[in-house]
Structure 1
Amino acid sequence: MKQSSSKCKAQVLLSIVLAVSTTFTYAQSNQSKLTAISPDDVASYDFVRPEADYVKRVQMIPMRDGTKLYTVIVMKKNVTKGPILLSRTPYDAKSSTTRTRSQLITEILPAMDAEFVADNYIRVYQDIRGTHNSEGDFVMARPIVGPLNNTGVDEATDAYDTIDWLVKNVPESNGKVGTIGSSYLGFTTLNSLINPHPALKAAVPQSPMVDTWIGDDDFHNGAFRVPTMDFIVDQSTDKANAGAQVGFGVGDDYTRYLESGSAGDYARKWGIDLFPNMQKILQNPAYTEFWSLQAVDKWLAARPLTVPTMLVVGQWDQEDSYGAPAVYKAIKPKDKNNDMVTLVIGPWRHSGANHYGYGLGALTFTGDTALEFRVNYLKPFLDHYLKGASDPHTPHVLTYATGLNRWDISPKWPMGTMTPLYLGQHFSASFKADNSSGHNDYVSDPSKPVPFLPRPVNLGDETSWKSWLVHDQRFVSDRPDVLVYKTQALDKPIHIMGEPLVDLFAATSGTDSDWVVKLIDVFPNVSPEPAEQGSKPSMAGFELPIGIEIFRGRYVHGFNKPQSLTAGKIEEYKFGLPNVDHVFLPGHKIMIQVQSSLFPLYDRNPQTYVDNIFNAKAEDYKSATESVYYGGENASSVLLPLVP
Structure 2
Amino acid sequence: MRRSVVLAFTAILAAPAISAPVTPDMVQAGSDVTGKFVAPHPGYDYEKRVVMIPMRDGVKLNTVILIPKNAKGLPIILERTPYNAGGFVDDKPHMRDAARGAFREFIDDGYIIAIQDIRGKHGSNGAYVMTRPPMGPLNPSKTDDTTDAWDTIDWLTKNIKQSNGRVGMIGSSYDGWAVTMALLAPHPALKAAVPESPMIDGWMGDDWFHYGAFRQNSLDYYLGQTTARGRGESIPREGSDDYLGYLDAGSAGAYAEIYGFKQLPWWNRVAAHPAYDAFWQLQALDKLVAAHPSNVPTIWLQGLWDQEDMYGAITTWEALKRSGHGANNHLVMGPWYHSQINRTGETLGPLKWNGDTSADFRKNVLLPFFNAHLKDRAAPPLPEAMLFNAAEKRWETFADWPVAEKQAVRPLYLKPGFALGFDKPAGGEDSYVSDPAKPVPFLTPPVDFDNHARWTTWLVEDQRPVATRPDVLVYQTPVLSDDVKVEGAPFADIFLKTTGTDADVVVKVIDVYPPSYAEQPELGGYQLPVSQDIFRGRYRGGFAHPQAFKPGETAEIKFRLPTMNYTFKRGHRIMVQIQSSLFPLYDRNPQTFVPNVFFAKPSDFKKATITIEYGPSAVLLPVK
Query: Could you state the TM-score of these two structures normalised by the residue count of structure 1?
Result: 0.90
Deviation at 1:46, TM superposition (A): 6.2
Percent of aligned positions that are identical: 47
Q: Indicate the residue corresponding to 1:366 in structure 2.
A: 354
1:497/1:642 contact within 8 Å kept: yes
| Equivalent of 2:302 in 296, 313, 317 | 313
Deviations 1:356-388 (A, max 9, x none): 110110110111111111111111111011111
- Stretch deviating more after TM superposition (249-258 or 291-300): 249-258
Q: Indicate the residue corresponding to 2:14 in structure 1.
A: none
Aligned partners of 2:276 and 2:381: how far apart in 1? 40
Partner AA of 1:228 in structure 2: S
Q: Secondary structure at the match of 2:109?
A: coil
Q: Secondary structure at the match of 1:417?
A: coil
Aligned partners of 2:380 and 2:78: how far apart in 1? 22
| Equivalent of 2:338 in 309, 332, 350 | 350
| Equivalent of 1:218 in 204, 208, 211 | 208
Q: Secondary structure at the match of 1:528?
A: coil
Alignment of structure 1 residues 141-540 onto 2, 5 Å: 141-239=131-229, 241-335=230-324, 339-414=327-402, 417-434=408-425, 436-528=426-518, 538-540=522-524
Q: Indicate the residue corresponding to 1:103 in structure 2.
A: 93
Deviation at 1:417, TM superposition (A): 3.0
Aligned partners of 1:577 and 1:445: how far apart in 2? 24
Partner AA of 2:95 in structure 1: I
Deviation at 1:225, TM superposition (A): 0.4
Partner AA of 2:305 in structure 1: W
Aligned partners of 2:449 and 2:285: how far apart in 1? 28
Matched, 1:52 2:44: yes
- Number of corresponding residues: 600
Partner AA of 2:252 in structure 1: A
Partner AA of 1:525 in structure 2: P
Q: Indicate the residue corresponding to 1:611 in structure 2.
A: 595
Aligned partners of 1:46 and 1:628: how far apart in 2? 70
Partner AA of 2:417 in structure 1: H
Partner AA of 1:182 in structure 2: S
1:97/1:125 contact within 8 Å kept: no
Deviation at 1:333, TM superposition (A): 3.8
- Stretch deviating more after TM superposition (543-552 or 101-110): 101-110
Aligned partners of 2:269 and 2:538: how far apart in 1? 20
Q: 1:639 to 1:40 in 2, by over 3 A?
A: same
Q: 1:501 to 1:528 in 2, by over 3 A?
A: same
1:76/1:118 contact within 8 Å kept: no
2:473/2:578 contact within 8 Å kept: yes
Q: Secondary structure at the match of 2:482?
A: coil
Partner AA of 1:360 in structure 2: L
2:224/2:232 contact within 8 Å kept: yes
Aligned partners of 2:602 and 2:244: how far apart in 1? 15
Q: 1:284 to 1:205 in 2, by over 3 A?
A: same
Partner AA of 1:221 in structure 2: Y
Q: Indicate the residue corresponding to 2:3 in structure 1.
A: none
1:308/1:340 contact within 8 Å kept: yes
Deviations 1:232-264 (A, max 9, x none): 00011111x233101114411000000001000
Aligned partners of 2:36 and 2:382: how far apart in 1? 47
Q: Indicate the residue corresponding to 1:534 in structure 2.
A: none
Q: Indicate the residue corresponding to 2:124 in structure 1.
A: 134
Aligned partners of 1:438 and 1:640: how far apart in 2? 22
Q: Indicate the residue corresponding to 2:5 in structure 1.
A: none
Aligned partners of 1:469 and 1:412: how far apart in 2? 27
Q: 1:335 to 1:201 in 2, by over 3 A?
A: farther
Q: Secondary structure at the match of 1:628?
A: strand
Deviation at 1:421, TM superposition (A): 0.7
Q: Give me the CA root mean square deviation.
A: 2.0
Aligned partners of 1:352 and 1:332: how far apart in 2? 26
Q: Secondary structure at the match of 1:286?
A: coil
Q: Indicate the residue corresponding to 2:57 in structure 1.
A: 65
2:226/2:232 contact within 8 Å kept: no
Aligned partners of 2:362 and 2:385: how far apart in 1? 15
Aligned partners of 1:45 and 1:575: how far apart in 2? 59
Deviation at 1:414, TM superposition (A): 3.0
Q: Indicate the residue corresponding to 1:597 in structure 2.
A: 581
> Structure 1: which 5+ runs fail to align?
1-18, 28-33, 532-537
Deviations 1:564-608 (A, max 9, x none): 110011111111111121111110000000000000000000000
Aligned partners of 1:513 and 1:47: how far apart in 2? 62
2:239/2:245 contact within 8 Å kept: no
1:210/1:323 contact within 8 Å kept: yes
1:225/1:601 contact within 8 Å kept: yes
Matched, 1:637 2:614: no
Aligned partners of 2:186 and 2:285: how far apart in 1? 15
Deviation at 1:527, TM superposition (A): 3.0
Aligned partners of 1:233 and 1:182: how far apart in 2? 21
Alignment of structure 1 residues 28-43 onto 2, 5 Å: 43=35
Deviations 1:101-132 (A, max 9, x none): 32111112111110101111111100000000
Aligned partners of 1:47 and 1:586: how far apart in 2? 63
Aligned partners of 1:486 and 1:304: how far apart in 2? 43
Matched, 1:559 2:577: no
Q: Indicate the residue corresponding to 2:111 in structure 1.
A: 121
2:185/2:294 contact within 8 Å kept: no
Deviations 1:147-167 (A, max 9, x none): 111101100000000001011
Q: 1:288 to 1:48 in 2, by over 3 A?
A: farther
Q: Indicate the residue corresponding to 1:13 in structure 2.
A: none
Deviations 1:57-79 (A, max 9, x none): 01100001000000011122111
Deviations 1:189-230 (A, max 9, x none): 001111111111111000000010000001000000001110
Partner AA of 2:288 in structure 1: W
Deviation at 1:43, TM superposition (A): 3.8
Matched, 1:625 2:609: yes
2:483/2:570 contact within 8 Å kept: yes
Q: 1:250 to 1:105 in 2, by over 3 A?
A: farther
Aligned partners of 1:40 and 1:458: how far apart in 2? 46
Deviation at 1:615, TM superposition (A): 1.2
Deviation at 1:466, TM superposition (A): 0.2
Aligned partners of 1:102 and 1:167: how far apart in 2? 26
1:414/1:499 contact within 8 Å kept: no
> Structure 2: which 5+ runs fail to align?
1-19
Aligned partners of 2:343 and 2:214: how far apart in 1? 28
Aligned partners of 2:496 and 2:520: how far apart in 1? 41
1:75/1:117 contact within 8 Å kept: no
1:471/1:544 contact within 8 Å kept: yes
Aligned partners of 2:138 and 2:291: how far apart in 1? 16
Q: Secondary structure at the match of 2:523?
A: coil
Q: 1:351 to 1:262 in 2, by over 3 A?
A: same
Partner AA of 1:327 in structure 2: T
Partner AA of 1:456 in structure 2: P
Aligned partners of 2:415 and 2:73: how far apart in 1? 64
